[in-house]
Amino acid sequence: MPTMADVARSAGVSVATVSHVLNGTRPVLPHTRQAVLDAVEELGYTTNTLARSLVTSRTRSIGLAVSAISNPYFTEILQGVEASALEHGYSLLIADPHDDPEHERKVVQLLHERRVDGMIVAPSADPREILAYLRRHDVPAVLLDRLVDTHADSAPPFDQICAENSAPTARLVEHLAGLGHRRIGLVAGLPGLTTTGERIAGYRHGLAAAGLPHDERLVVHGDSAATGGEHATAALLSLAAPPTALVTANNAMTIGALRALRDHGLSVPGDIALCCFDDFAWADLFSPRLTAIAQPSKEIGARAVQVLLDRLASPERPARTLRLPCAFVHRTSCGCPEENAPGTARPAKTPAESPHRPEPR
């Protein structure tokens, strides 16, 4: 098996130069770097990761704890994390905490025991145990999507990254209000998650901006899951004065809401308008096509890796929270004609036209 010394002899450079090229520890002239890479390819040299970790106390691995199996949104984030980690020469260890605080603690401990250099974690609704663990063991970590209160005295000094939540949700509500809707329901996420709280706040801001009152009966939690979204939507439809439009606060609950609407014999947008937070691959394939807020999922994952690597390079730097902007994807489930440009409104149906739209004004 070829060694680093063999690569150095073939490329006509020192062993230290080969090490700098392979580990990215110091800039190397382009032609020298290419000579080293050519020698590596020709000889079939592979890095002995275990030996290197014994010398450097680094494994060049990142632990990722997200509920990717059960949530398609995190699957896209995972793709961004994986691509960025690979680009920087890091391997990825993935564990699914299933949004369960007890399982989450076990997952974080397991990743730590595998000696990852740092972690990227999407915290559960009750992250106290894992945050305490990460802080107690001084594990470099980036919190993803679900944030912690950085103003609290006990707030851990972790970097955080997520998308904007409040303003995009408000935009969905204002768009529906602009179409004439006066009873707009919200299928909210799992209580305790910051994403849930921020999207509820955005919903209320949107109502206020449109001059509409807030009716707490129109906000029902779907617990960030398809089944919960189905039950929450059914509860909204059972109201004496049901909503004429819905905002669903994540992609899984959107699927559940559509199932509930189908089971109640309602069409979108003919009987009820629908807008959703989280664009996803199928949103453009439904009939009607779903008007949605698109989060920069892959970019969030890639930026999380970069923030973690910055933390590893400068452990003493102040913690930071990054928020990335979302995009409003205008389609037809809100009731707008296909040819209308974003922001163009048309009146909602009157009660005589749809029995599911009582007192729309």
- Would you call the peptide bond into 288 cis, given omega within 30 degrees of 0 as the criterion? yes
pLDDT at 59: 74
Note the pTM of the prediction, 2 decimals: 0.76
Three-state SS across 144-177? ECCCCCCCCCCCCCCEEEEECCHHHHHHHHHHHH
CATH number of 61-163+297-324: 3.40.50.2300
Assess if CATH 3.40.50.2300 describes domain 166-294. yes
φ, ψ of residue 64 in degrees (nearest 5): -120, 120
User: Do 61-163+297-324 and 166-294 have matching folds?
Assistant: yes
Q: Which residues of the chain have pLDDT under 70?
A: 47-58, 68-70, 149-156, 339-361
Domain 4-47 homologous superfamily, CATH: lambda repressor-like DNA-binding domains (1.10.260.40)
pLDDT at 351 (0 to 100): 31
Identity of residue 81 = V
Domain edges within the chain: 4-47, 61-163+297-324, 166-294
Where are the extended beta strands (E) located within the chain?
61-65, 91-95, 118-121, 141-144, 159-163, 184-188, 219-221, 245-248, 273-277, 291-294, 321-324, 327-329
Q: What pLDDT is attached to residue 149?
A: 67
